[in-house]
Amino acid sequence: SRAPSAGPGAPGERRVALDPTTAGKLARAVSADADQSIVMVDAGAGRFSHFADAAYDDVSGVQVLEAGQHAEDAGLVLCVRPPEPELIDSLAEGTVLVGLLSPFQSRELLERCKARRITALAMELVPRISRAQSMDALSSQAAAAGYHAALTAAHEASVFFPMLTTAAGTIRPARVIVVGAGVAGLQAIATARRLGAQVWAYDIRAAAREQVESLGARMIDTGVDASGEGGYARELTDDERAAQAEALAKHLSTAHAVITTAAIPGRPSPKIITEDMVERMQPGSVIVDLAAEGGGNCELTRPGETVEHNDVKIVGLLDIPSQLPVNTSEMYGKNLFNLLTPFIRDGELVLDFDDAVIGPMCVTRDGDIVHEGVRKALE
Ligand code: NAD
């Protein structure tokens, strides 16, 4: 597949921050202040997400930034992944930058935002409260990733997913295990079920059981619950990890396909599947590791590569939402639209930093790194 090679957006990124329809809606909302345009930092990517550049030409008030272009008159800069730090120097003080900014890894970008007095909002930090569900880009993109992972597992597996009754005999359905039943995991379960596989799920949050069972899958019980604050999982103790591993290894040895999705934001992915567990798996089985971006949930995962170990294939998928760029761009654009429009009054964006969504996701403002967790991580 093609990938954009250069441009102000991240290399390989195929998504755009706004599809043309959402760009038009957002531009109309802020149109009263014609001096300040909305700038999308995804030049090049539009082509790869299959939205024609020309479709943006008709959207007045939205500028798609080309490589090397400056954005002095931008009031609002929207991106998918972190822009080149150099872009920040061309922005006027007080410009609002919103995107998946990888705040815990983007030291240089944030230093420049601080120096230029940019207001930077990180989409990763949208809090997990009911009101913010429609703004949550991690969820919208994770759903796409889970779907894609199940299709990849079906494609790479050495067996059919569905049960087949044929003149040549009956084929039993594949056994699929999904590790991590969050947003991505639930979509992977639903997709594998639609393909006819028998699905087991495993999660350290006991609360995941109800959702797993409602999709027609069964929960693997290891006797460990690690529900943490704000809907995220907490880190496990060594004893808990050992108990978890023992129960899981037994189940994995019967699987035809395994999809792992357990990520803890801002931290390396927990290593859940050890080399030893892989060695006990069936020949011809496959692990699709959605947590490869953070190093992987399997010890043998190599991010961005497919490796084989003892006749088990381990697929370290990266940048998966980019594989479905039309829908993931539409969903991401809607997340941005839902986030920002409540703060547009008389055509002007006026953020409320006491708001329960804007406050926690604000990383830099008025020349400071205002997010305590990010400030500590970058110290
Ligand atoms: P996530 O990406 O943080 O993690 C994926 C899943 O992996 C989670 O279910 C987690 O419990 C699990 N996991 C983590 N470490 C594990 C380990 N060592 N072993 C096994 N499983 C492990 O989670 P997510 O997909 O973003 O969502 C988690 C929960 O938060 C879900 O219940 C989801 O519905 C909820 N949520 C709520 C909102 C909201 O209210 N706005 C938004 C997003 C998610």
Residue range 59-73, pLDDT digits in tens? 888 888 876 677 777
The first and second tokens of residue 95, run together, are 């410009």
Residue with tokens 């039309």: 326
Q: Specify the pLDDT at position 2.
A: 32
Question: Using a 6 Å cutoff on CB, does residue 179 contact ligand 1?
Answer: yes
What do you get for the CA distance between the two ends of the chain, in Å? Answer: 39
pLDDT of residue 36: 67
Measured in Å, residue 181 CA sits from the centre of ligand 1 at: 7
The predicted model scores a pTM of 0.90
For 190, which DSSP code? H
pLDDT tens per residue, range 98-151: 999 999 989 999 999 999 999 999 999 999 999 999 999 999 999 999 999 999
For ligand 1, whether the C-beta of 42 sits within 6 Å is no
Measured in Å, residue 232 CA sits from the centre of ligand 1 at: 5
The distance between the two most distant Cα atoms of the chain, rounded to a whole number of Å, is 72
CB 218 near ligand 1, within 6 Å: no
Tokens of 109: 């970008």
CA atoms within 13 A on the CB side of 12: 6
68: left (phi over 0), alpha (psi -120 to 50) or beta: left
Tokens of 320: 């998966």
pLDDT score of 163: 97
Q: Is 145 in the pocket of ligand 1 (CB under 6 A)?
A: no
Q: How many CB atoms lie within 10 A of CB 129?
A: 14
Burial class of residue 179 in the structure, from the number of CB atoms within 10 Å of its CB (0-12 exposed, 13-18 middle, 19+ buried): buried
Q: Please tell me the distance from the alpha carbon of residue 120 to that of residue 122, in angstroms, as a whole number.
A: 7
Give helix then strand counts, H and E, for the chain.
13, 18
Q: Is 303 exposed, middle or buried (0-12, 13-18, 19+ CB in 10 A)?
A: middle
Q: Which residue do the tokens 């039943």 mark?
A: 181
pLDDT for 136: 98
Mark the ranges of the chain whose per-residue pLDDT is less than 50. Answer: 1-9
> 112: closest CA among 100, 127, 137, 95?
95
CA-based R_g, the chain, Å: 22
Which residue from 4, 2, 1 is spatially nearest to 66, judged by alpha carbons? Answer: 4
- Sign of the torsion formed by the C-alpha atoms of 143, 175, 244 and 279: negative
Q: What is the residue with the minimal CA distance to atom 16 of ligand 1?
A: 262
Ligand 1 geometric centre to CA of 118 (Å): 31
Task: Specify which residues 178 forms β-bridges with.
Answer: 201, 259
